[in-house]
């Protein structure tokens, strides 16, 4: 069953990447700084001398046995389900017959049905080359992220200082007086010095403020899921990630500002048919 080896599956996200949280409707925010024309925000990644990599974690979960896709289409993108799972995990799924692999989600299988214990989604089966109703030997291994140094990588250059001109109170008052005079208005009281901005409070204190809707190996499927969420008034974030040269897309919602808000959004998402959605850290 469990393998003793731990393999690195490639770069996922730079550890020096800056993740900005911008407020949006419903108390949720997008990740990153780029926004598509359809309103979907996307994560933007920087590079540096350290990076996060996906590493196999068989001690967390690993199963090598027959899996089955029953031939029916399924929501939620790439996923498998197994009765021995405790919590949802991100996993690497490998078809041992042809060597094809894909990144996906792992859930607990609630019902015991005859046949293979591993249930495979339609998207996962397509990426793994599995045929409907035909049991296939697959290996499912949990993934964890480790921060590692990049050998020989040069440190990021320091940003050049930028000189900026600032307007003092006298300049502001003179400008205001000139505008008032042009409009025939008596000059207003001279402005007081601006108070220093108070530090922004954290967006959320929840350990798992986001809700993962699904992992997709085809971008259009992720976009279609995002469109379904937006039509229901839920703002999604689509994250493009890569592992072992394989690109996949995660659809998440968040961050929630409270557990009550998170529970409310999770209930709405499941009512839309995404019954395997679950809270995640990021």
- Please report whether residue 40 resides in a domain: no
Q: What 3-state class would DSSP assign to 235?
A: coil
171 CB burial (10 A radius; 0-12, 13-18, 19+): exposed
Identify whether 246 is part of a domain. Answer: no
Would you say residue 106 lies in a domain?
Answer: yes
The total number of structural domains that make up the chain:
1
Please give the average per-residue pLDDT across 159-167, as a whole number. 49
Residue 123 — pLDDT band, cuts 50, 70, 90?
very high
- Per-range mean pLDDT, top range of 44-53, 83-92, 139-148: 83-92
Which residue range forms the structural domain that includes residue 102?
Answer: 8-19+49-149
Write down the pTM of the prediction.
Answer: 0.57
Say yes or no to pLDDT of 16 above 90: no
In a domain, 209, yes or no: no
Specify the CATH number for the domain of residue 133. Answer: 2.40.40.10
6 close to 55: Cβ distance less than 8 angstroms = yes
Distance between CA atoms of residues 229 and 237, nearest Å:
10
Q: Does residue 59 sit within a domain?
A: yes
- Report which DSSP code applies to 77: B
pLDDT in tens, 212-229: 999 999 999 999 999 999
Instruction: Note whether residue 72 is domain-resident.
Output: yes
Mean pLDDT of the chain: 74
């Amino acid at each position: 069953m469990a393998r003793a080896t731990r393999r690195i599956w490639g770069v996922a996200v730079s550890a020096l990447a800056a993740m900005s949280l911008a407020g949006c409707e419903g108390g949720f925010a997008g990740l990153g700084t780029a926004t598509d024309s359809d309103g979907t925000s996307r994560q933007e990644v920087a590079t540096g001398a350290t990076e996060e990599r996906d590493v196999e974690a068989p001690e967390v979960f690993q199963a090598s046995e027959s899996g089955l896709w029953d031939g029916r289409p399924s929501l939620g993108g790439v996923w498998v389900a197994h009765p021995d799972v405790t919590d949802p995990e991100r996993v690497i799924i490998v078809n041992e017959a042809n060597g094809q692999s894909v990144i996906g989600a792992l859930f607990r299988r609630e019902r015991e049905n005859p046949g293979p214990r591993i249930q495979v989604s339609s998207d996962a089966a397509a990426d793994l080359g599995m045929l409907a109703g035909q049991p296939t030997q697959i290996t499912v291994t949990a993934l964890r992220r480790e921060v590692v140094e990049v050998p020989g990588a040069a440190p990021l250059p320091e940003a050049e200082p930028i000189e900026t001109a600032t307007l003092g109170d006298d300049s502001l008052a003179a400008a205001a007086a000139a505008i008032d005079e042009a409009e025939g208005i008596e000059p207003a009281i001279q402005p007081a010095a601006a108070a220093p901005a108070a530090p922004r409070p954290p967006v959320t204190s929840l350990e798992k403020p986001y809700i993962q809707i699904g992992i997709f190996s085809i971008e259009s499927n992720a976009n279609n899921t995002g469109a379904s969420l937006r039509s229901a008034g839920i703002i999604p974030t689509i994250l493009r990630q890569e592992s072992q040269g394989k690109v996949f897309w995660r659809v998440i919602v968040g961050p929630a500002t409270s557990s009550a808000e998170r529970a409310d959004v999770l209930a709405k998402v499941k009512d839309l048919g995404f019954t395997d959605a679950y809270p995640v850290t990021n």
